[in-house]
Amino acid sequence: GAVVSQHPSRVICKSGTSVKIECRSLDFQATTMFWYRQFPKKSLMLMATSNEGSKATYEQGVEKDKFLINHASLTLSTLTVTSAHPEDSSFYICSATRQGDGNEQYFGPGTRLTVT
Amino acid sequence: QQQVKQSPQSLIVQKGGISIINCAYENTAFDYFPWYQQFPGKGPALLIAIRPDVSEKKEGRFTISFNKSAKQFSLHIMDSQPGDSATYFCAAGDTDKLIFGTGTRLQVFP
């Protein structure tokens, strides 16, 4: 149990366009979802935390207007990278917590974004 | 107060040997200390986690040692196998967030 999926797994987009990444908890209702960014051979950097029906909490230095997060239901959160630029190319990973499991975060498989 | 320092950056171990990765945290409010394994192009997977009320936790070949007074914790992989070759991340946090260490690339040679 506690499976998190992401779609798409890979996406290539042109500079200036927007791209949406979905994060779903498949077999549980997620109390909280997190979005991370990971550059090659680097650590995971938390971008934002979201709870269903409320505005996301962004980490310092993360542009809210560039990385739009929508958490419309207990099983779905989306990250939209607006007006993407090559420097936004990265590996984006979401995670979710499940009620009763305390702090444990269940991670998705990640989405590789390449902006050309 | 939010940093988690991890060492070594890379580690080469022979098959059957013990792999040891160390982490240190700063924020004494953290109450959850997990270790994750990540293969290239994949999301991290939880290996084992510990809370500050115990000093050691063992699951199979993986053991976490925790030193609350020193604000340090470590992962020991016993009988390391080539299939253990991956990047390992420690993390520290609470119900609000996890702060990840910088990662250790482990290579286990036959």
pLDDT at B95 exceeding the cut of 90: no
Does the structure show a pLDDT above 70 at A46? Answer: yes
Q: Which of A51, A87, A45, A50 is nearest to A66 (CA)?
A: A87
Helix, strand, or coil (residue A21): strand
Looking at CA atoms only, how far is residue B70 from chain A in angstroms? Answer: 22
User: For residue B48, which residues of chain A lie inside 8 Å, CB to CB?
Assistant: none
Q: How far is CA A28 from CA A75, A101, B67, in A?
A: 7, 11, 34
Q: Which chain A residue shows the shortest CA-CA distance from B93?
A: A103
Whether chain B has a CB inside 8 Å of the CB on A110: the answer is yes
Helix (H, G, I), strand (E, B) or coil at A95: strand
Mean pLDDT (whole number) for A19-24: 97
Report the residue from B32, B43, B101 with minimal CB separation from A43. Answer: B101
Whether A105 sits inside 8 A of B42 (CB atoms) is no
Q: Is the pLDDT of residue B41 over 70?
A: yes
- d(CA A87, CA A116) in angstroms, rounded, equals 10
Q: How far apart are CA A97 and CA A99, in angstroms?
A: 7
pLDDT above 60 for B1: no
Q: Do B31 and A103 touch (CB under 8 A)?
A: yes
| Contact across the interface for B95 and A108, Cβ inside 8 Å | no
pLDDT > 70? residue A44: yes
CB contact under 8 A, A107 and B36: yes
Alpha carbon of B74: minimum distance to chain A alpha carbons (Å): 17
Neighbouring residues of A29: CB distance < 8 A, sequence distance ≥ 6: A74, A75, A98, A99
**Cβ pair A60, A45 in contact under 8 A:** no
The upper half-sphere exposure of residue B52, i.e. CA atoms within 13 Å in the direction of its Cβ, equals 16
In tens, the pLDDT along B52-91 reads 999 999 999 999 999 999 999 999 999 999 999 999 999 9
Interface of B with A (CB under 8 A): 31-32, 34, 36, 41-46, 49, 89, 93-103, 105
- Residue B70 forms beta bridges with which residues? none
Interface of A with B in 44-83 (CB under 8 A): 44-46, 49
